[in-house]
Amino acid sequence: MPGSTFGELFRVTNFGESHGPAIGCVIDGCPPGLALSEADIQPELDRRRPGTSRHVTQRNEPDAVEILSGVYEGLTTGTPIALLIRNTDQRSKDYGNLLDTFRPGHADYTYWRKYGHRDPRGGGRSSARLTAPMVAAGAVAKKWLHEHHGTRFVGWMGALGDTEIPFEDEAEIPRNPFFAPNAAIVPQLEAQMDALRKAGDSVGARIEVRARGVPVGLGEPLFDKLDADIAYAMMGINAVKGVEIGSGFATVREHGSEHGDELTPEGFASNHAGGVLGGISTGQELVVRIAIKPTSSIRLPRASIDRAGRPTVVETHGRHDPCVGIRATPIAEAMLALVVMDHALRLRAQCGDVRLPVPPIAGARP
Amino acid sequence: MPGSTFGELFRVTNFGESHGPAIGCVIDGCPPGLALSEADIQPELDRRRPGTSRHVTQRNEPDAVEILSGVYEGLTTGTPIALLIRNTDQRSKDYGNLLDTFRPGHADYTYWRKYGHRDPRGGGRSSARLTAPMVAAGAVAKKWLHEHHGTRFVGWMGALGDTEIPFEDEAEIPRNPFFAPNAAIVPQLEAQMDALRKAGDSVGARIEVRARGVPVGLGEPLFDKLDADIAYAMMGINAVKGVEIGSGFATVREHGSEHGDELTPEGFASNHAGGVLGGISTGQELVVRIAIKPTSSIRLPRASIDRAGRPTVVETHGRHDPCVGIRATPIAEAMLALVVMDHALRLRAQCGDVRLPVPPIAGARP
Amino acid sequence: MPGSTFGELFRVTNFGESHGPAIGCVIDGCPPGLALSEADIQPELDRRRPGTSRHVTQRNEPDAVEILSGVYEGLTTGTPIALLIRNTDQRSKDYGNLLDTFRPGHADYTYWRKYGHRDPRGGGRSSARLTAPMVAAGAVAKKWLHEHHGTRFVGWMGALGDTEIPFEDEAEIPRNPFFAPNAAIVPQLEAQMDALRKAGDSVGARIEVRARGVPVGLGEPLFDKLDADIAYAMMGINAVKGVEIGSGFATVREHGSEHGDELTPEGFASNHAGGVLGGISTGQELVVRIAIKPTSSIRLPRASIDRAGRPTVVETHGRHDPCVGIRATPIAEAMLALVVMDHALRLRAQCGDVRLPVPPIAGARP
Amino acid sequence: MPGSTFGELFRVTNFGESHGPAIGCVIDGCPPGLALSEADIQPELDRRRPGTSRHVTQRNEPDAVEILSGVYEGLTTGTPIALLIRNTDQRSKDYGNLLDTFRPGHADYTYWRKYGHRDPRGGGRSSARLTAPMVAAGAVAKKWLHEHHGTRFVGWMGALGDTEIPFEDEAEIPRNPFFAPNAAIVPQLEAQMDALRKAGDSVGARIEVRARGVPVGLGEPLFDKLDADIAYAMMGINAVKGVEIGSGFATVREHGSEHGDELTPEGFASNHAGGVLGGISTGQELVVRIAIKPTSSIRLPRASIDRAGRPTVVETHGRHDPCVGIRATPIAEAMLALVVMDHALRLRAQCGDVRLPVPPIAGARP
């Protein structure tokens, strides 16, 4: 209830603050018998790690993960898997004035009004740093799903500010710091970022994430629809302001005669639905897009107030991503993997003994 | 877990099928002492009722609600409030062929693959009819929130297919069947619908919904962020394919220097955030937009397959909304009210004794 | 959270008051494909129905159950099963003075202090009448468990006041109104009850309930241990003040050398554990005993106070069970069935693909 | 769902194994503004620490707790409080044969059948060592409850095997290793333990635990009754086989005319109910008793089988408590505190604005 636990059957409880001693999570409900070590998790953490290019925050965090429990002799035991990441690059400085001022676009004001007391260091609990444990947990989900269902997750940047990034080649995604599926556009993106940094400003981004090899039947009919849970997971990522499935907002202008995906003996003829019908997975690719707002921490001066309600001006210096969207791709993949994993277990719980009167339509899962 | 319960502290458990004996819900966790009778709920149900104009399904359902429990001498007792709506206009016909065929854009295929057995009558559990109990529950939430916090909810249609509906006058919303805040555009919308009906096709829509007078501090920091729970609630409404908060997808192109809402002693200077920062309500208006896909049930023939995987053609006759978005406004309001209500109780649970060291900034809640 | 929902994956949400329009429940998460009709449920309701002998309340309630949803063509669909029982024998009388007075041993005072407002008619929500929907839900769980695992539930009265009832013959249980497994003792029990009724007093009872054919592996290691969930379920039954598993309180005096059940190739050599080790089922018989307090509604005058704190005297007339334990056996069976059902689905969710390196020990499940 | 999280609003997620790198927990939902440091928690951990007398296991664990998050400048922030306890005294030895054999009375067999794979070192997840994080979390709950409601918790040993321990003086409890409220009986208890250790056997115990200054109104009417949640919490403690509230099993023989506690203007005249009526706290002392089975790890040889089903003999050497009940008192107190804390927040959530029409009866809370 208090909101730091994600999932129902594959549950991840997250803890920590940006500049506290440590961050981490506890995964409860992982099936037993999965081969697991830190080496399965670290590569995913490295994908979202700060300091890997000049376009992201220069905070120097190795984000080394330690498994504290739930694994014995290299296999999960079915008991909670606690993952610990020590914070190493906390800057010791006086945060007193930060505590008194509300930075525009940040959670400072809302945390203060809600709790009456907050940790202001590096954003405290509201820092995007808290996505690291989710990326770690997502790595476990990805591994299990791949071994049991052949599921794979892939994400990329679809737009950086007003630059649309045409999808060209998935193989390019890991070769540039933007997760752009397009080599030719990378110089333009770099120039765009350099200009932003120089101007002391920031910009938004759109990320697309997909899951392939998703079992049919994931999602509950009424409230825990697969797409509803995806929307919840994505909107919960820092700075996300919009979520689309399949045709998304373009569907407003579509007609029923084009939107509804026809079925053929070889499978669905199209995927406007984005892999979900009536809240339940069709077995097609899950197609998700998210809108990420520009970083709120910018060098340009902004008007604000302090805790006594007096006007003040905020200029944020220090280490910040001019586009938080750049590191969002592995996060979005991880959150999608956690949703799919949870529903895979939920499906097995309720419908583990469903036997269809006729064989499933092989082709309906292209 | 099984997905028919919404909310954590103000919990609504929904049951029923479109053509079964009854639909309804159980509200658990309603605070005691709220004056409540069927007369508080029925008007909201009447707003989303079918058969009220020629542009929506002609199914004739009075949707009369009966309170079965939880109210004594006109006041809620704090125990579960069960609401019952009998289905009266079930058509008795042979659904056998419907059971065998998968209508494009519908949940037929996914329900069959998930459960191995399904109620095909009128869409069964996947029918939008199941939003009626949520509208009823939302009426209870609205009443409590209005009495305790002065919160008000208002929604409207922002686009019907490719017709954008400029916001003119909120007073017009209840005066036309489209919930359009604009009297001048209504004839155009009517003509658009008449043409669609004649063509046997359908179209999408965009709905906007707002909450005013929302307490500051609603929402949890990490997963049950207020906007994440709103996204979950909205994406769970039948036919919704996208959700935005505040600037939404437009934020992709915004710069930090414009997006981050400045604060002044008189309050926030703008509301790009849509009333949520760091997942927690700011006290500003909540601004939510949703994309609704075109009705999948259309008269035009569509290719599909049957349960044995053989090709077939589907033409849907009978009573259907050519735009499901038309009746979506009261539903979206209700779901938003349920999210706000739940978080109002959650805030009180954890932070009921928070006393700020200085008085809250009066102006920061415009 | 608000406490009217039982279970995690096989979830039962209960509603209603003793003298309101109706009571009932919604079962969410039932696996699809189970043959189900009212005829599967009614016999269990009839076992706990009032008015069946002179030793229980003479309230005349047929307790006829109606299935409102979740079943199509005789099979469960996997969607919520709503069960409705109309109250028919509400007595119309002035409850005004009841509302003002707190009956000793009853929930009057605590409800008033908690909620500030309560339904006093027949105990309102605190009436044992609210166990009827649980008995109905338990009938569904029993049926599924029997079909899938061969599980059977049996309960009996082990003591009525200071009369110990030696276990003689299980076949006798349905043949007397006390659920006594012993024909010879029935006249003594009847005499005991007649004397109580004459004296206007009441007495406690001890009920024993067992489950046979329970799958191995049910229960979670730390908090949702099978025995912890059983204790929760049993202590939640009206008037229960104690719960034991296996040796129970006698274990205080046992030595480790006698308590720990030895294993042999043919199975466990004894069952002091009562079928649970480390919170997880062993496959042996589950053995549960509960202590039920005497009915609080008695004719003898008792001192109390009214809402203004003034002293008063309470004498309860009307229809009451002089021993609520008499009708508790089917209730305890139902609650045990609901716990086992829930855990059967939970086991499948997490460990549905566990394959042991050697075959399970056949004999270990006697 | 997977069973390592306790509570609904004050949620504790536990992780770790007896001989893994660390154990700990995450407390989510703690109200902000509570002064908290390790010094508030360590004394409670020291009360249940091993190695403090010759009568308990000689494992040498300092059980030093580290707060990883959720506290800033000495006050809780309302975000998750992660508590870490490193395991320091893991013995490196070959556990291979332990992995193959099922010790009578232990969870070896059930873990193996459920998960197919388990950590056998020191009992792994089923070790009573996992109660340490709960004692730590309980310390936080105790502090908040004491500051906000004046609540206090006290527990003691009521029986050691067949030795009944008369309650004499609460002040004696912390002065002997048995938590016995009776100085005169301590020599007898020591002799009893010495004899057991010499015989290589073990014995059960009965613990009593009380809460004073409990707010009226805690507990939900139907399923999350306060006593049901207490029963769940207590039965979840390792080795517990029975739970009683108030009169408990003695209530079987009581008459209604003696059991129902009369009310007077000065308060309840007695407390057979043990502080709970209808599942809701009366404001009286909560009275709970639990039965703890004898330690299963004994030196005496016991018959068992191995994973291939072959007969074998088990003799357990090493460091074990001959009576696990000896260290159970602080654990039972902690679990009771966690239940009360959770319900205190739940009460505030739903009924935070209840205003009684007349003042509460002062005397009814003795």
Tell whether A9 is within 8 A of chain C (Cβ): yes
**Facing residue for C351 by CB, picked from A31, A148, A354:** A31
The phi and psi torsions of B130 (rounded to 5 degrees) equal: -70, -5
C116-150 pLDDT, tens digit per residue, is 999 988 889 999 999 999 999 999 999 999 999 99
**Facing residue for D69 by CB, picked from A1, A17, A76:** A17
The residues with which C156 forms a beta bridge, in sequence order, are C208
**Facing residue for B15 by CB, picked from C8, C14, C80:** C80
Contact at CB, D217 and C107, closer than 8 angstroms: no
Assign 3-state DSSP to chain D and report helix, strand, coil percentages, each to 5. Answer: 35, 20, 45
Q: State how far Cα C290 lies from the chain centre.
A: 10
Contact at CB, D220 and C4, closer than 8 angstroms: yes
Q: Which of B26, B192, B202, B235 to mutate to test the interface with A (most CBs of A within 10 A)?
A: B235
Tell whether C54 is within 8 A of chain D (Cβ): no
- In B277-296, the residues whose Cβ lies within 8 Å of chain A are 277-283, 291-296
Structure tokens at B243: 């959700």
**Facing residue for D4 by CB, picked from A72, A80, A84:** A80
Scanning the structure block, which residue is given the tokens 């919604």?
C26
Contact at CB, C15 and B66, closer than 8 angstroms: no
Closest of B82, B103, B113 to residue B295, by C-alpha? B103
Structure tokens at A31: 């099936």
Residues in CB range of C195: below 8 A, 6 or more apart: none
A339-355 pLDDT, tens digit per residue, is 999 999 999 999 999 98
CB distance B196 to B322 below 8 Å = yes
Which helix or strand (DSSP H or E) is residue A212 part of?
strand A205-212
Is residue B49 scored above 80 in pLDDT? yes
Tell whether A356 is within 8 A of chain C (Cβ): no
Q: State how far Cα B145 lies from the chain centre.
A: 17
Contact at CB, C204 and D303, closer than 8 angstroms: no
Task: Please give the C-alpha separations between residue B228 and each of A130, A233, B234, C313, D201, in angstroms, as whole numbers.
Answer: 16, 7, 10, 55, 56
Contact at CB, C32 and A348, closer than 8 angstroms: no
Which helix or strand (DSSP H or E) is residue D189 part of?
helix D186-199
Helix B328-351 with B132-149: angle, nearest 10 deg? 50
Q: What is the 3-state secondary structure (H, E, C) of C109-170?
A: HHHHHHHCCCCCHHHHHHCHHHHHHHHHHHHHHHHHHHHHHCCEEEEEEEEECCEECCCCCH
Tell whether B58 is within 8 A of chain C (Cβ): no
Q: Are strands C311-314 and D302-305 parallel, antiparallel or unpaired?
A: unpaired
**Facing residue for C109 by CB, picked from D5, D234, D263:** D263
**Facing residue for D115 by CB, picked from A32, A67, A84:** A32
Mean per-residue pLDDT over chain A, rounded: 93
Residue ranges of chain C whose pLDDT lies below 50: 363, 365-366
d(C-alpha B324, C-alpha B161), whole Å: 11
Q: How many angstroms away from the CA of A150 is the closest CA of chain D?
A: 23
Is residue A366 scored above 50 in pLDDT? no
B363: pLDDT confidence band, cut at 50, 70 and 90?
A: very low
Taking one residue from A and the other from C, the number of pairs with CB-CB distance under 8 angstroms is 54
The residues with which B264 forms a beta bridge, in sequence order, are B267
**Which amino acid belongs to residue B237?**
I
Q: How many angstroms away from the CA of D341 is the closest CA of chain A?
A: 14
Tell whether D198 is within 8 A of chain C (Cβ): no
Per-residue DSSP letter, B313 = E
Give B308's contacts in chain A (Cβ within 8 Å).
358
d(C-alpha C281, C-alpha C210), whole Å: 13
Cα angle A338, A343, A344; round to 5? 95
**Facing residue for A350 by CB, picked from C1, C29, C353:** C29
Which helix or strand (DSSP H or E) is residue A196 part of?
helix A186-199
The residues with which B6 forms a beta bridge, in sequence order, are B12
Q: How many angstroms away from the CA of D194 is the closest CA of chain C?
A: 14
CB distance D302 to C260 below 8 Å = yes
d(C-alpha D61, C-alpha D46), whole Å: 10
In this prediction, residue B261 carries a pLDDT of: 97
Burial A138-153 (b: 16+ CB within 10 A, else e): bbbbbbbbeeeeebbb
Burial B184-219 (b: 16+ CB within 10 A, else e): ebbeebbebbeebbeebbbbbbbbbbbbeebbbbbb
Is residue A247 scored above 90 in pLDDT? yes
In this prediction, residue C100 carries a pLDDT of: 85
Is residue A78 scored above 50 in pLDDT? yes
Instruction: Return the residue of C nearest to A221 by Cα.
Output: C79
- Average pLDDT rounded to a whole number, residues A120-129: 91
Tell whether A350 is within 8 A of chain D (Cβ): no
Residues in CB range of D118: below 8 A, 6 or more apart: A72, A77, D99, D108, D111, D112, D124, D125
Enter the pTM of the model: 0.97
**Which amino acid belongs to residue D345?**
L
Residues found in chain B: 366
Closest of B256, B264, B18, B220 to residue B131, by C-alpha? B18
| Binding partners of D (≥3 Cβ pairs within 8 A) | A, B, C
Which helix or strand (DSSP H or E) is residue D305 part of?
strand D302-305
Q: How many angstroms away from the CA of A162 is the closest CA of chain C?
A: 45
A98: pLDDT confidence band, cut at 50, 70 and 90?
A: confident
DSSP helix/strand/coil, A248: helix
- Average pLDDT rounded to a whole number, residues B289-296: 96
Q: Which of B117, B130, B343, B350 to mutate to test the interface with C (most CBs of C within 10 A)?
A: B117
Q: State how far Cα D102 lies from the chain centre.
A: 26
**Facing residue for A256 by CB, picked from B202, B257, B259:** B202
Q: How many angstroms away from the CA of D72 is the closest CA of chain C?
A: 29
CA distance from start to end of chain B? 38
Lowest mean pLDDT among A93-107, B19-33, B71-85, B213-227: A93-107
CB distance D104 to C263 below 8 Å = yes
Structure tokens at A178: 């933007």
Tell whether A320 is within 8 A of chain D (Cβ): no
CB distance A11 to D1 below 8 Å = yes
Residues in CB range of C7: below 8 A, 6 or more apart: C29, C338, C339, C341, C342
Task: Please give the C-alpha separations between residue A95 and each of A91, A100, A116, C175, in angstroms, as whole numbers.
Answer: 10, 9, 17, 77
B241-250 pLDDT, tens digit per residue, is 999 999 999 9
**Facing residue for C78 by CB, picked from A1, A78, A351:** A351
In this prediction, residue C96 carries a pLDDT of: 61
d(C-alpha B323, C-alpha B268), whole Å: 37
DSSP helix/strand/coil, D356: coil
Give D26's contacts in chain B (Cβ within 8 Å).
none
Phi-psi region of B253 (alpha: psi -120 to 50; beta: other; left: phi over 0): alpha
Residues in CB range of A269: below 8 A, 6 or more apart: A261, A262, A263, B303
Q: How many angstroms away from the CA of B4 is the closest CA of chain A?
A: 6
Tell whether A204 is within 8 A of chain D (Cβ): no
Phi-psi region of A218 (alpha: psi -120 to 50; beta: other; left: phi over 0): beta
Contact at CB, B254 and A293, closer than 8 angstroms: yes
Closest of D290, D330, D340, D341 to residue D132, by C-alpha? D330
Per-residue DSSP letter, A80 = -
Closest of D104, D140, D155, D50 to residue D294, by C-alpha? D104
Tell whether D22 is within 8 A of chain C (Cβ): no
DSSP string computed for A35-63: B--HHHHHHHHHHH-TTSSTTS-------
DSSP string computed for B209-275: EEEESPPTT-S-SSSS-HHHHHHHHHHTSTTEEEEEETTGGGGGG-BHHHHSPPEETTEES--TTTT
In this prediction, residue A1 carries a pLDDT of: 67
In this prediction, residue D363 carries a pLDDT of: 46
- In D89-118, the residues whose Cβ lies within 8 Å of chain A are 114-118
Residue ranges of chain D whose pLDDT lies below 70: 1, 91-96, 319, 362-366
